[in-house]
Structure 1
Amino acid sequence: MTTTRTTRITRTTRLSAEVRDAMRAVGAAARKGLGDPALAELVMIRASQLNRCAFCLDMHLELARKNGETEARLDQLPAWEEAPDRFTGRERAALALTEAVTVLTGGTSRTESGGGFVPDAVYEEAARHFTEPELAHLIGVITTVNGWNRIMVSRRIEPGGPAWT
């Protein structure tokens, strides 16, 4: 009888204190300027779902619950487009922008669907719901969480794991 073992690879590369502190500062500034902590958490959860970052997903789901987000909305977040009654127009615009910024793949032109650019219609819809400064901060939140997702996924940090070591 042959026994096989599955070994989980643990990556121990430490996160630079300077990078960690800079990322924290950018994230805090972006969230503060957006001014809507509940929306920021929805955005960070959705990006973390798309990036398959279990650590960030676990953390932001917990924060969203602590801030009063309902389980019904969190359950529907992966299919937010199919649940129009669960999310406001502002939230839907932010989630569409989150997906567009997070998944920059595809063709090579601005007009081509999935062309590596945020589609004009997605950006324009977000601009209808957010002031120019809010939109800049929203993009900052999206960009920062994507950066954190990539750091945690590349280091294979598990939910509840030691993020800063």
Structure 2
Amino acid sequence: MTVRTGLLDPEVGRALASVSAAAKRGLGDPALAELVVIRASQLNHCAFCLDMHLGVARELGVSELKLDLLAAWEEAEDVFDERERAALALAEAVTVLADGFVPDSVYARAAAHFDDRRLAHLIGLVTAINSWNRVMVSRRVEPGGYRP
């Protein structure tokens, strides 16, 4: 395996960082934002982003139990509240797009917990982390190199 480092062009990195930051600010819940990006990164097998965002989540005080059970959030009903579960369901649907679209029921579930503005930021955040995941996985950027 050939290991490549970083992005192809710093301008791409700045643009993605700007989208990510705006989406996180607009969502208004840094801990939830980290859960969402970690879950998408798990689905996309992005070791670099997992390493980075697990560290950020810990700094924000997200419990180890939540981080340990995030991959099985649907079965961990007592660990994740309904708002988190709705956000994680939407994150998975946007990331995987198994049926070619986000099911109406998943969207409606999220819309019950987030107003239009925050819902737009949540979708923007998932879209941004999916872009980051694809860049880092395709470049084969190894974990452990993130420095805040």
Q: TM-score, normalised by structure 2?
A: 0.95
How many residue pairs align between the two structures? 147
**Aligned with 1:129: secondary structure?**
coil
Whole-angstrom CA distance in 1 between matches of 2:25 and 2:6: 30
Mapped contact 2:36–2:91 kept (Cα < 8 A): yes
Q: Which runs of 5+ in 2 are unaligned?
A: none
Matching residue of 1:157: 141
Matching residue of 1:139: 123
Give the 5 Å matches for 1:16-55: 16-55=9-48
Q: Indicate the structure (1 or 2) with the bigger Cα radius of gyration.
A: 1
Superposition deviation, residue 20 in structure 1: 0.7
Superposition deviation, residue 161 in structure 1: 3.2
Whole-angstrom CA distance in 2 between matches of 1:88 and 1:162: 30
**Aligned with 2:74: secondary structure?**
helix
Match of 1:59 among 52, 64, 85: 52
Give the 5 Å matches for 1:92-111: 92-105=85-98
Superposition deviation, residue 131 in structure 1: 0.5
**Which ranges of 4 or more aligned residues in structure 1 deviate by more than 4 Å?**
none
Whole-angstrom CA distance in 1 between matches of 2:66 and 2:2: 34
Compute the RMSD of aligned alpha carbons: 1.4
> Match for 1:143: what amino acid?
T
**Aligned with 1:10: secondary structure?**
coil
Q: Which runs of 5+ in 1 are unaligned?
A: 1-7, 106-114
Whole-angstrom CA distance in 1 between matches of 2:81 and 2:93: 18
Q: TM-score, normalised by structure 1?
A: 0.85
